[in-house]
Structure 1
Amino acid sequence: MPFETIEIPQLNKTIKIPIGLFVDGQFIPSSSGEKIDTFNPATGEKIASFYAGTVEDVDAAVEIAKDVYSYTWSMQPIRDRRDLLLKLARLLERDREILAMLDAIDAGKPYHTNALADLDQVITLTKYYAGAVGNYTNGEIIPVNSDKFCYTLREPYGVVALIVPWNYPLAMACWKMQGALAAGNTIVIKPSENTSLSLLYLGQLIMEAGFPNGVVNIIPGAGNVVGEALAKHMKINKISFTGSTSVGCKILKYSGMSNMKEVCLECGGKSPAVVFKDADVDNAAAWTANGIFYNSGQNCTANSRIYVHENLYEEFLKKFKEYARNHYSFADFNVFNPDCTLGPVISKIQYDRIMKFIESPDGKRDILFPMPPNSETKGFFIPPVIFTDVPEKSPLLQEEIFGPVVVISKFCHYSEVVKMANNSRYGLAAAVFTEGVRRGHRFARDVHAGTVWINSSNDEEVTVPFGGFKMSGIGRELGRYGVESYLQTKTVHMSMVPHH
Structure 2
Amino acid sequence: MSRPEMPRTRAEWQQRAADLTAGEGLETRAFINDVFVDAASGETFESTNPATGEVLARVASCDGADADVAVSHARAAFDGGDWSRLAPGKRKKVLLRLADLMEAHKAELALLDTLDMGKPISSSLGDMSGAIACFRYQAECIDKLYGEVAPTGEETLALVLREPLGVVASIVPWNFPLMMTAWKVAPALAAGNSVILKPSEKSPLSALRLAALAKEAGLPRGVFQVLPGFGHTVGKALALSMGVDCLAFTGSTGVGKQLMQYAGESNLKRLYLECGGKSPNLVFADCKDLDRVARHAAEAIFHNQGEVCIAGSRLLVENAIREAFIDKVVAAAESMQPGDPLDPESFMGAMVDETQHRRVLEFIRRGQDEGARLRAGGEATVVDGKGLFIPPTVFDGVTPEMAIGREEIFGPVLAVFGFDTEEEAVRLANDSVYGLAAGLWSQDIDRIMRVTRRLASGQVFVNNWAGGDQTMPFGGVKQSGNGRDKSHHSLEEYSDLKSVWMSLAT
CA shift, 1:243, in A, is 0.3
- Within the candidate set 279, 302, 308, 1:293 is matched to 302
CA shift, 1:475, in A, is 2.0
CA shift, 1:60, in A, is 0.7
- Within the candidate set 84, 89, 96, 1:86 is matched to 96
- Taking structure 1 as the reference length, the TM-score comes to 0.94
Aligned partners of 1:329 and 1:339 also within 8 Å: no
Aligned partners of 1:134 and 1:183 also within 8 Å: no
CA shift, 1:284, in A, is 1.8
> Where does residue 37 of structure 2 map in the other structure?
28
Counterparts of 2:184 and 2:349, CA distance in 1: 25
Amino acid at match of 2:490: G
1:296-315 matched pairs, under 5 angstroms: 296-315=305-324
Secondary structure (helix, strand or coil) at the match of 2:123 reads helix
- Taking structure 2 as the reference length, the TM-score comes to 0.93
> Where does residue 7 of structure 2 map in the other structure?
none
Aligned partners of 2:442 and 2:448 also within 8 Å: yes
> Where does residue 68 of structure 1 map in the other structure?
77
- Within the candidate set 473, 488, 497, 1:465 is matched to 473
Q: CA RMSD in A?
A: 1.6
Aligned partners of 1:8 and 1:14 also within 8 Å: no
List per-residue Cα deviations over 1:51-78 (Å, max 9, x = no partner).
1112111111111111111112123222
> Where does residue 3 of structure 1 map in the other structure?
none
Secondary structure (helix, strand or coil) at the match of 1:27 reads strand
Q: Does 1:240 align with 2:248?
A: yes
Secondary structure (helix, strand or coil) at the match of 2:151 reads strand
- Within the candidate set 231, 237, 251, 1:229 is matched to 237
CA shift, 1:10, in A, is 4.2
Amino acid at match of 1:76: L
Amino acid at match of 2:118: G
Secondary structure (helix, strand or coil) at the match of 2:26 reads strand
Q: Does 1:390 align with 2:389?
A: no
- Within the candidate set 357, 364, 372, 2:363 is matched to 357
- Within the candidate set 449, 453, 461, 1:441 is matched to 449
1:308-323 matched pairs, under 5 angstroms: 308-323=317-332
Counterparts of 1:472 and 1:130, CA distance in 2: 28
1:316-395 matched pairs, under 5 angstroms: 316-326=325-335, 328-331=336-339, 334-360=340-366, 361-362=369-370, 363-368=372-377, 377-395=385-403
Amino acid at match of 2:141: A
> Where does residue 217 of structure 2 map in the other structure?
209
Secondary structure (helix, strand or coil) at the match of 1:438 reads helix
Aligned partners of 1:134 and 1:182 also within 8 Å: no
- Within the candidate set 179, 182, 199, 2:187 is matched to 179
Aligned partners of 2:338 and 2:349 also within 8 Å: yes
Amino acid at match of 2:351: V
Aligned partners of 2:43 and 2:60 also within 8 Å: yes
Secondary structure (helix, strand or coil) at the match of 1:473 reads coil
Amino acid at match of 1:125: C
Aligned partners of 2:361 and 2:380 also within 8 Å: no
Counterparts of 1:427 and 1:377, CA distance in 2: 39
> Where does residue 4 of structure 1 map in the other structure?
none
Aligned partners of 1:10 and 1:336 also within 8 Å: no
CA shift, 1:367, in A, is 2.6
Residues 348-357 or 276-285, more deviating: 276-285
- Within the candidate set 460, 463, 477, 1:455 is matched to 463
CA shift, 1:460, in A, is 3.5
Counterparts of 1:404 and 1:206, CA distance in 2: 35
Unpaired runs of 5+ residues, structure 2, are 1-11
> Where does residue 483 of structure 1 map in the other structure?
491
Amino acid at match of 1:339: E
Counterparts of 1:10 and 1:140, CA distance in 2: 55
Question: Judging changes above 3 Å, is the alpha-carbon distance between structure 1 residues 8 and 39 closer, same or farther for their aligned structure 2 residues?
Answer: farther
CA shift, 1:495, in A, is 2.5
CA shift, 1:208, in A, is 1.0
> Where does residue 40 of structure 1 map in the other structure?
49
Secondary structure (helix, strand or coil) at the match of 1:74 reads coil
CA shift, 1:287, in A, is 1.5
Residues 140-149 or 127-136, more deviating: 140-149
Counterparts of 1:106 and 1:356, CA distance in 2: 24
CA shift, 1:43, in A, is 1.0
List per-residue Cα deviations over 1:7-52 (Å, max 9, x = no partner).
9744464121211110111101111000011100111111100111
Counterparts of 2:317 and 2:417, CA distance in 1: 6
Amino acid at match of 2:117: A
Aligned partners of 2:472 and 2:486 also within 8 Å: yes
Amino acid at match of 2:46: D
Residues 29-38 or 334-343, more deviating: 334-343
> Where does residue 17 of structure 1 map in the other structure?
26
Counterparts of 1:298 and 1:98, CA distance in 2: 22
Counterparts of 2:261 and 2:113, CA distance in 1: 31
> Where does residue 121 of structure 1 map in the other structure?
130
> Where does residue 8 of structure 2 map in the other structure?
none
Counterparts of 2:279 and 2:118, CA distance in 1: 23
Aligned partners of 2:380 and 2:391 also within 8 Å: yes
Counterparts of 1:402 and 1:30, CA distance in 2: 31
Counterparts of 2:468 and 2:201, CA distance in 1: 26
Amino acid at match of 1:433: W
Secondary structure (helix, strand or coil) at the match of 2:418 reads strand
Amino acid at match of 1:14: D
Question: Judging changes above 3 Å, is the alpha-carbon distance between structure 1 residues 61 and 12 closer, same or farther for their aligned structure 2 residues?
Answer: closer
Amino acid at match of 1:254: Y
Counterparts of 1:8 and 1:29, CA distance in 2: 30
Percent identity between the aligned chains? 38
Unpaired runs of 5+ residues, structure 1, are 1-6
List per-residue Cα deviations over 1:163-188 (Å, max 9, x = no partner).
00000111100111011111111101
Question: Judging changes above 3 Å, is the alpha-carbon distance between structure 1 residues 12 and 191 closer, same or farther for their aligned structure 2 residues?
Answer: closer
Aligned partners of 1:467 and 1:475 also within 8 Å: yes
Secondary structure (helix, strand or coil) at the match of 2:160 reads strand
CA shift, 1:339, in A, is 2.1
Amino acid at match of 1:412: D
Question: Judging changes above 3 Å, is the alpha-carbon distance between structure 1 residues 403 and 371 closer, same or farther for their aligned structure 2 residues?
Answer: closer
Counterparts of 1:158 and 1:377, CA distance in 2: 50
The aligned length equals: 486
